[in-house]
Structure 1
């Protein structure tokens, strides 16, 4: 291809792909199929690999794959990023309005632009001649950190603004993580023995401050723009006009994505009405907010009003009352989980937070205790948001008892007295005794869970009682229980005992995948259980598998294989499996259809589909397909729904075919 022709086609491809990225990630209205998009992206990558002298600065290929940085460089903001004055009472909005009128010496109603106060990480995007050249964190307001490579991994942020872009446009907004994505991220962190995040804001900030952009690319981050920094070659009349222009350039804004969450209000009463309306819908929002922001809509009036110290006189934040309270840590108990993880829990003087009485709050691990310096006897601030487990926010040091001592997780397991250890690369301390009574109880609770053996009439409290009565110490004991055993316990009647025994009997024909999951092998979740069942077909072959054989299973790496080998090498645990089989447990493995339209093909789902994800997986498996847990060269198809993550980029780099839900339906 001639050099000029290659450059023209490259520019054309960049423009086309940017258009489709905007339609997909911002407007949620894809124009072409995933297959067609994939072909365009592949052509782009081939051009960049074979042709020299192409401009890659705004290429979609630059969103991932950059080399890790050694340190973030510091860069000064051309216009300081100011802080807003805060209030926690809607009545203060009337006072704010009075101050504005008094300063402007007017009795006329002031028009205000009202928007959400996102609870994320403040960010400034710098566009020069339409190209994204820099992204800076807020820092101290004057100097921020350069996180350009990381910000490029957020696909909803355009790398180029297109025709008519001003010479300089500094866009300010918030990087955040949706609640649902946050929950999934924490599940993955927990499964891998890594530090979990306290809340979506911390997760977003931690993800954005990764020196390796590939880690940031794997995190489901979003961006909403709401303010201006420095500009050259463009003027605005109102705050609303700023957001309208951002949206025209393809930059995500609440005004475009959720117009009912933004309002131009005339006078303070309309602002207060907006405040109360947002407060009501706050729990239903997919992301965290902590209030609303009110700005004088006219930029001319903003200039007249100027600043007060380091805050704009023309704007204020009306925060919602935080779901926090102050209480005293009466004790710190260390709980032992199913995998031996020791979790410190603060036992506190009961206090109401958000309408719920709270007595316990997790302290996560020793690192977290050291960071916050929480001690027995401390007065602490705790918070609770929705159904999230309460957590200690901070310690009120002025009220600390003089004789207080730092708390350290014990060197011996509080449940069984065995030595504990902290493995390299993990943040949790663990009891390594598999016979630990606390681990036994938690393992038994996991065993009966709905997604495992599904013994639905046996709850946590009954398991505690049975273990304490020495009627239950291991998995096989469930199948030795009799009606008389149940009746020997307090508060158990004839009908209840029959239901419990019947529930246990119904669990005797588990699918192999669920049975493997129920065993509670570390790092072996539901999906891994399915992969192992598909590969080994019988429980005997699974128990006899070598590490080399395990590594042949899709998605099974050295860490998971080692964990499985440690479990299957334990004669006592393997004996348990054989005991259950002797007691009537018949482990089934429904043969995957070899005649189904998806037979021999592997699939992975990313994004939101028109049906529930579990239902989609069932459809694929019933038609002979296999579900994998991550993108690899062994994957045949990536099924992409709305708002997909970084799996798309990885699939493209590996040549994995990308299809939509409609295309999957056609295959069926």
Structure 2
């Protein structure tokens, strides 16, 4: 390679790796495996050693992690959160051990810990109380996520026992157990929300949510593994782990004290086999010199300690044959390609299918029927094809072409600008969409209709009894016909009819969620129902009006307007209304605590230490009124961090006073004192 080619390669690697760092650390949406990333980083490191004059100051070899998001207050770390050197090679571990021996002699021990696949977190405690929680960020500074972290039950808010210093910092990893992840992801699917690829992404996304009340609904966990103090309290890392456990911290029970590298390798081999039996994901093992004085003697490089290293397990992969590709149509019309594989054993289970995500992925892989493909099951819950062994491709193999028409109903597929997914627009005439929407409508989080299940809906659809949601409410008149169906006894029919009848009392927000409008999940439905009050206001609302509702963006607003423009949807609403369903939000009557805010109107926007629901309740309990949009009728805008710029601009144009949540509370307290 010429020098210009070398510089071009180095520049390309810097750009690519920085993009992957941003996707992983900031967006929590990795687009490359750890193994592939580490290979590219190693290549760049080697090139920079050989050609230091071409080194880019922005190279990922010169910094730790990714960029700091602007959504939270930035806090500088007292002790930098350095990354560890890592390897996939046992020989590298032996070389690491040899370097330690040259520096320290033979009198030292290692502590081996599982390497959790989660989000690094630094916790600061003052006088036994949790004072601050900060993400790793770029290693020098991170995001203050204290409010969200306080909702994690495993993280003590107040320490137990005695002996802890007045002020200290402890590092750990926030993560989510796989069973909890599976359950919550199923709920996201039911709510027509994008599913997370793996528990790590889910945990990272949860910690960065703006509403701590939503964080509290998601069961996060946290293992703590390193203590930082101004004055040394212990002589070894192993002693500190035992102490912090007594103070109330969750420490992994699988840590082990090893006398030599052979015991370290035995620990690594043990957990390579047993890691799939854990309820959480690990991607390797961390090895640390146990003695603190020996750690100080070894010191640090610019970005990692010399006394620690991580051994990373390769993601489980296997080679098999792509037999065909099928296409699944979901209830929202999303068409997902699925690879049908020759069965192969992978990570303890037999894999027959793998996700292909979308047309972009099919094109990237350049798949042909009969290809020999490599399938991976690492952080992903669902196996995926990572590459094709083109050397084994048969002459004349048929390429996989993503369809232009819906594989079920034949409608031309649509793909919106900026989206990777193709959709079938025929939501009122495409069988899997119709069945999926009805199944969603009866689900627990929507109309919660007892006596009906997914299989029953499929049967009723095949028999022609229920072709639309509104047909459920016509089953009252078809009792006798239903009795002629297999496995439909009189008792089960009566239970079904009773459940359908009871569903007529479900509130407007549940009906709205049950309609299955794209992007309208449970929380969004609740916000819309509270703001617009009834279906008529919603059906007549413009995109501009909808985006003034708290947390409703342009994408959701456009989806709502498009949905209600469809005459078939209007017809369904009319039928459901005639059947007696609730299309108006119930007015909640309560006796206010005071009338100090009577005649005053408020909008709450942004993030606060308190929840917005709590602030809304305080306003209404003291006679104030919450408006749904900014207008000349608004008296005060209660403004928190990260308030939408459009709301701020409109409020300034109308000269509407901005107040903080503390000023709101002072207003209530001050007015109360004046009135008394």
TM-score, with structure 1 as normaliser: 0.57
CA separation of 1:99/1:407 partners in 2, compared to 1, >3 Å: closer, same or farther? same
Alignment of 1:302-317 (within 5 A): none
Correspondence for 1:84 among 84, 87, 100: 87
Distance 1:365 1:326 in 2: 21
Distance 1:64 1:326 in 2: 42
Alpha-carbon contact 1:194-1:426 (below 8 Å) kept:
no
Distance 2:182 2:607 in 1: 15
Q: Which residue of 1 aligns with 2:437?
A: 443
Distance 2:605 2:517 in 1: 23
Distance 1:120 1:278 in 2: 18
CA separation of 1:147/1:552 partners in 2, compared to 1, >3 Å: closer, same or farther? closer
CA separation of 1:616/1:350 partners in 2, compared to 1, >3 Å: closer, same or farther? farther
Alpha-carbon contact 1:330-1:376 (below 8 Å) kept:
yes
Q: What SS does structure 1 have at the residue aligned with 2:471? A: helix
Is 1:527 the counterpart of 2:533 in the alignment?
A: no
Spell out, residue by residue over 1:511-568, the C-alpha distance to the aligned partner (whole angstroms, 9 max, x if none). 1111111112222222222222223333333334444543453333433332222222
Alpha-carbon contact 1:471-1:485 (below 8 Å) kept:
no
Correspondence for 1:329 among 322, 330, 337: 322
Spell out, residue by residue over 1:351-380, the C-alpha distance to the aligned partner (whole angstroms, 9 max, x if none). 454554443332211122333444432344
Q: Which residue of 2 aligns with 1:593?
A: 589
Q: Which residue of 2 aligns with 1:130?
A: none
Distance 2:175 2:480 in 1: 52
Spell out, residue by residue over 1:300-322, the C-alpha distance to the aligned partner (whole angstroms, 9 max, x if none). 9899999xxxx999877566685
CA separation of 1:282/1:655 partners in 2, compared to 1, >3 Å: closer, same or farther? farther
1:296, CA displacement in angstroms?
Answer: 4.2
Distance 2:616 2:275 in 1: 34
Distance 1:431 1:387 in 2: 27
Alpha-carbon contact 1:457-1:499 (below 8 Å) kept:
yes
Q: Which residue of 2 aligns with 1:116?
A: 114
Correspondence for 1:64 among 64, 70, 74: 70
Q: Which residue of 1 aligns with 2:340?
A: 347
Q: Which residue of 1 aligns with 2:197?
A: 198
Q: What SS does structure 1 have at the residue aligned with 2:360? A: helix
CA separation of 1:372/1:581 partners in 2, compared to 1, >3 Å: closer, same or farther? same
Correspondence for 1:413 among 402, 406, 416: 406
Alpha-carbon contact 1:195-1:427 (below 8 Å) kept:
no
Alpha-carbon contact 1:537-1:589 (below 8 Å) kept:
yes
- Looking at both structures, which has the greater relative contact order when contacts are Cα pairs under 8 Å and sequence separation is at least 6? 1
Q: Which stretch of structure 1 is more off in the superposition, 470-479 or 613-622?
A: 613-622
Alpha-carbon contact 1:86-1:316 (below 8 Å) kept:
no
Is 1:563 the counterpart of 2:566 in the alignment?
A: no
Alignment of 1:223-622 (within 5 A): 240=237, 258=251, 264-266=257-259, 288-297=281-290, 324-384=317-377, 388-435=381-428, 436-481=430-475, 482-587=478-583, 589-596=585-592
Q: Which residue of 1 aligns with 2:27?
A: none
Q: CA RMSD in A?
A: 6.6
Alpha-carbon contact 1:226-1:243 (below 8 Å) kept:
no
Q: What SS does structure 2 have at the residue aligned with 1:292? A: strand
Distance 1:427 1:518 in 2: 26
CA separation of 1:575/1:192 partners in 2, compared to 1, >3 Å: closer, same or farther? closer
Alpha-carbon contact 2:191-2:521 (below 8 Å) kept:
no
Unpaired runs of at least 5, structure 2: 1-67, 73-81, 122-135, 148-170, 596-600, 649-657
Q: Which residue of 2 aligns with 1:45?
A: none
CA separation of 1:176/1:108 partners in 2, compared to 1, >3 Å: closer, same or farther? same
Distance 2:609 2:336 in 1: 34
Alpha-carbon contact 1:595-1:624 (below 8 Å) kept:
no
Alpha-carbon contact 2:223-2:252 (below 8 Å) kept:
no
Distance 2:625 2:284 in 1: 42
Q: Which stretch of structure 1 is more off in the superposition, 586-595 or 558-567?
A: 586-595
Distance 2:278 2:399 in 1: 40
Spell out, residue by residue over 1:634-665, the C-alpha distance to the aligned partner (whole angstroms, 9 max, x if none). 97598xxxxxx9899x99x98455999xx9xx
Distance 2:330 2:202 in 1: 24
Distance 2:530 2:277 in 1: 41
Q: What SS does structure 2 have at the residue aligned with 1:440? A: helix
Distance 1:84 1:438 in 2: 47
Spell out, residue by residue over 1:243-277, the C-alpha distance to the aligned partner (whole angstroms, 9 max, x if none). 99xx99xxxxxx98747565544456598579869
1:441, CA displacement in angstroms?
Answer: 1.9
Alpha-carbon contact 2:535-2:584 (below 8 Å) kept:
no
Q: What SS does structure 2 have at the residue aligned with 1:510? A: coil
Q: What SS does structure 1 have at the residue aligned with 2:448? A: coil
Spell out, residue by residue over 1:25-59, the C-alpha distance to the aligned partner (whole angstroms, 9 max, x if none). xxxxxxxxxxxxxxxxxxxxxxxxxxxxxxxxxxx
Counting matched residue pairs gives 518
TM-score, with structure 2 as normaliser: 0.57
1:573, CA displacement in angstroms?
Answer: 1.1
Q: What SS does structure 1 have at the residue aligned with 2:401? A: coil
Spell out, residue by residue over 1:427-477, the C-alpha distance to the aligned partner (whole angstroms, 9 max, x if none). 111122232223212211211111111123322222222222222211111
CA separation of 1:421/1:401 partners in 2, compared to 1, >3 Å: closer, same or farther? same
Distance 1:621 1:381 in 2: 58
Q: What SS does structure 2 have at the residue aligned with 1:421? A: coil
Q: What SS does structure 2 have at the residue aligned with 1:515? A: helix
1:408, CA displacement in angstroms?
Answer: 3.0
Alpha-carbon contact 2:100-2:307 (below 8 Å) kept:
no
Distance 2:623 2:84 in 1: 52
Alpha-carbon contact 2:192-2:516 (below 8 Å) kept:
no
Distance 1:412 1:478 in 2: 30
